[in-house]
Amino acid sequence: MAIQHSRGVSAFARTDSDGYTALPSGEPTVRRDVPVPMRDGVLLSADVYHPAGQGPHPVLVMRVPYGKEAAQTIVFAHPYWYASHGYIVVVQDTRGRFKSEGEFSPWVDEAADGYDTVEWAAELPGASGAVGMYGFSYAGGLQLQAAALAPPHLRAIAPAFSSLDVYGDWIYPGGALSWAFLASWGAGDLVTESARRLGDPDLEERLHALARELPDSYWHLPVCEHPALPRAAAPYVHDWLAHPWRDEFWSQRTGEQTLSTVSVPGLHIGGWSDVFIAGTLASFSTLANAGAAEQRLVIGPWMHMPWIPWSPPEQGDDQDFGDVNSLQLDWFDRWLKTGSERPASTEQTAGAVGPREDAARVFTMGSNRWTSMRAWPPACELTSWHLHSDGRANSRFGDGALAPQAPAGEPFDVFVYDPRNPVPSVGGRSCCNPEIAPIGFSDQRSVEERNDVLVYSSAALEEPLEIGGDVTLLLWAATSALDTDFTGKLVDVQPDGAAINVVEGIVRARHRRVQEPESLLEPDSVHRFALELGPIRWCFRAGHRIRLEVASSSFPRYSRNANARAHPNTARFGDLQSATQRIYHDRDRPSALILPVLDPRAGT
């Protein structure tokens, strides 16, 4: 596994008169539930871990909505571990969560609260004044939001597995509701705590039971009335559902535009199977190109949770994937410690970045190796792989082909999408529990047996083909419906027939135009759709085939489109209707998969 979890603390801890829990001599102490005043008078609650010795010590701050006592130990070492390496560690419940005052409104107050917390932490007894921030997922984005306001004492950040594009990465990729993620994240991590704060133990118990019923309840319609997301406990979720297009509501919560003011060094950590990988790469690239401070990138073969690496079957799983805790410690030692406090040297792990390495350290899937690069994306050539068939590309048993040659006169392919029987999601980029949401790299052959999935495959490659960057699908299509979805999935087909998903994306037709958020289709008219399948660094090995799947659903990764005038967020079972879909690939409408192909002679 990629993460080393810390051992439990000593059973011989004691509490002194100042509220600190002290471990045996020479070990860290902790003071719990310390009030932290915000500029508007709200008090946020923090646990403060203090290393042995008088200091001065640098400070690490983690701000989380999931409980400061847990401190994201599901992915990181316990704060005691960081404190044992010479850091004061502040772990804080965000506004409106657990023991902190205020109202929880995701992303709204976080920048100012982060600024105030950093400056408060810099003045703690024994603090050196140098502060860093770390955290995963929501806590990763909070670092970037705080850094955008430039707290004077913030010296470095390490945002992991996160994105500031709240609309496009968190809730509505391609305009379609990220349903499995929203339901599992909301019901599992957010709503039950909100019910507890309401003082309604019956509701809290009922919500815990409903959370255990996922994924069976993903089928519930309408999604805006899902029983595990009641308005009383999750008003913010209903706000998101009421704003399915990019509007002013999202601009107040999306922090991408604030990146221009971030000026501290950043270590950006992500995984190729993470739901937020596009946002992680975008944050790194934007800040690195701005050149205001040193930015580093580490992307491993990880999913959102758990951080377990994946290896191609023929490669085995004995690779060294590095230790993220040690990686972060090296980063903060470099920027927050000075003089005798700073280690003379640190051991570099497989994914580690040091002062003399290239800016990006990326795991290349397929060939199973770490690659150093100067920037993301690497230099590449956008290469078109065109769709071909004689009109029967349905399933992997059809006649669909993928080739660099452009099509001439070819018939269209046709399939019927029935939202009552959607194509199931098998793996992919989602969150937050693989038992209730589809996550990871998986064999797609069961999906490819369906006739409502078009399959286009290349010939076996004579030599390796490596890609690095964003994959796009340009699709000429028509539908019999007023609204529908189109999905695309890039697949690596191995010599034994295993078909491993690489990247996938979706476009919700009515949201295809930003300027026209509710643009219904004229039935049976042909449109050109651009599907962003996402970023990847992947090597298709010799003897493998490149494959593209085209469908109109991937459930429950995305909510079902009813193919009706009713919006998918409010559609009821009676609104569901089938749609006949036509995919064109001829001289005038050349649908194509666009791959960012790397030149093997150009190095890394």
Is 127's pLDDT higher than 60? Answer: yes
Is 423's pLDDT higher than 50? Answer: yes
Give, as one character, the DSSP assignment of residue 210.
H
Per-residue pLDDT at 308 = 65
Is 349's pLDDT higher than 70? Answer: no
Which of 1-5, 61-65, 395-399, 572-576 is least confident? 1-5
Instruction: Give the E-state strand segments of 38-75 in sequence order.
Output: 43-50, 57-64
Averaged pLDDT, 471-496: 98
Residues 522/490, Cβ–Cβ less than 8 Å: no
CB-hemisphere CA count at 13 Å for 377? 20
Averaged pLDDT, 85-90: 97
**pTM of the predicted model, to two decimals?**
0.90
Residues 558/397, Cβ–Cβ less than 8 Å: no
Residues with catalytic annotation?
A: 137, 274, 304
Residue the block writes with tokens 């199977």:
273
CB-hemisphere CA count at 13 Å for 444? 32
Dihedral Cα 436, 440, 446, 452, nearest 10 deg: 90
Is 79's pLDDT higher than 50? Answer: yes
User: Could you give the 3-state DSSP secondary structure of residue 183?
Assistant: helix
If pLDDT is split at 50, 70 and 90, which confidence band does 602 have? low
| Whole-number average pLDDT of the chain | 88
Q: How far apart are CA 62 and CA 506, in angstroms?
A: 34
User: Could you give the 3-state DSSP secondary structure of residue 110?
Assistant: helix
Greatest Cα pair distance in the chain = 84
- Write the secondary structure of 76-109 as one string of H (helix), E (strand) and C (coil): CCCHHHHHCCCCEEEEEECCCCCCCCCCCCCCCC
Residues 158/137, Cβ–Cβ less than 8 Å: no
Is 318's pLDDT higher than 90? Answer: no
Antiparallel, parallel or unpaired: β 20-22 and 266-273: unpaired
Residues near 388 by beta carbon (within 8 Å), at least 6 away in sequence: 400, 401, 402, 403, 405, 407, 410, 456, 585
In this predicted model, what pLDDT tens digit does every residue of 551-570 receive, in sequence order? 999 999 999 999 999 999 99
CATH class of 381-602: mainly beta
Per-residue pLDDT at 22 = 43
Residues 197/234, Cβ–Cβ less than 8 Å: no
Strand partners, 531: 473
- Write the secondary structure of 473-496 as one string of H (helix), E (strand) and C (coil): EEEEEEECCCCCEEEEEEEEECCC
Per-residue pLDDT at 321 = 59
Is 531's pLDDT higher than 60? Answer: yes
Q: How far apart are CA 130 and CA 153, in angstroms?
A: 6
Per-residue pLDDT at 513 = 75
Per-residue pLDDT at 312 = 47
Instruction: Phi first, then psi: give them for residue 556, nearest 5 degrees.
Output: -100, 15
Residues of the chain with CATH 2.60.120.260: 381-602
Is 190's pLDDT higher than 90? Answer: no
What are the CB-based long-range contacts (under 8 Å, 24+) for 234-239?
234/186, 234/190, 234/191, 234/194, 236/104, 236/105, 236/106, 237/182, 237/186, 237/190, 237/191
Per-residue pLDDT at 314 = 47
Cβ-based neighbour number of residue 8 at 10 Å:
7
Q: Which of 389, 430, 419, 405 is nearest to 551 (CA)?
A: 419
Per-residue pLDDT at 438 = 82
Which of 163-177, 347-361, 588-602 is least confident? 347-361
Q: How far apart are CA 306 and CA 297, in angstroms?
A: 20
Averaged pLDDT, 383-407: 97
Is 30's pLDDT higher than 60? Answer: yes
Per-residue pLDDT at 9 = 27
Give, as one character, the DSSP assignment of residue 141.
H
Per-residue pLDDT at 421 = 98
If pLDDT is split at 50, 70 and 90, which confidence band does 25 have? low
Q: What is the token pair recorded at 121? A: 């932490």
Residues 517/502, Cβ–Cβ less than 8 Å: no
CATH class of 14-167+251-373: alpha beta
Is 254's pLDDT higher than 80? Answer: no
Q: How far apart are CA 197 and CA 191, in angstroms?
A: 10
If pLDDT is split at 50, 70 and 90, which confidence band does 514 have? low
Residues 259/146, Cβ–Cβ less than 8 Å: no
Per-residue pLDDT at 41 = 97
Per-residue pLDDT at 204 = 87
Which of 51-65, 307-321, 474-488, 581-595 is least confident? 307-321
If pLDDT is split at 50, 70 and 90, which confidence band does 186 have? confident
Give, as one character, the DSSP assignment of residue 142.
H
If pLDDT is split at 50, 70 and 90, which confidence band does 287 have? very high
Which of 19-33, 46-60, 510-524 is least confident? 19-33
Q: How far apart are CA 64 and CA 62, in angstroms?
A: 6
Is 533's pLDDT higher than 90? Answer: yes
If pLDDT is split at 50, 70 and 90, which confidence band does 601 have? low
Residues of the chain with CATH 3.40.50.1820: 14-167+251-373
Q: Is 556 left (phi over 0), alpha (psi -120 to 50) or beta?
A: alpha
Per-residue pLDDT at 7 = 26
Per-residue pLDDT at 357 = 55
Give, as one character, the DSSP assignment of residue 355.
T
Residues 132/155, Cβ–Cβ less than 8 Å: yes
If pLDDT is split at 50, 70 and 90, which confidence band does 517 have? low
Is 464's pLDDT higher than 90? Answer: yes
If pLDDT is split at 50, 70 and 90, which confidence band does 247 have? confident
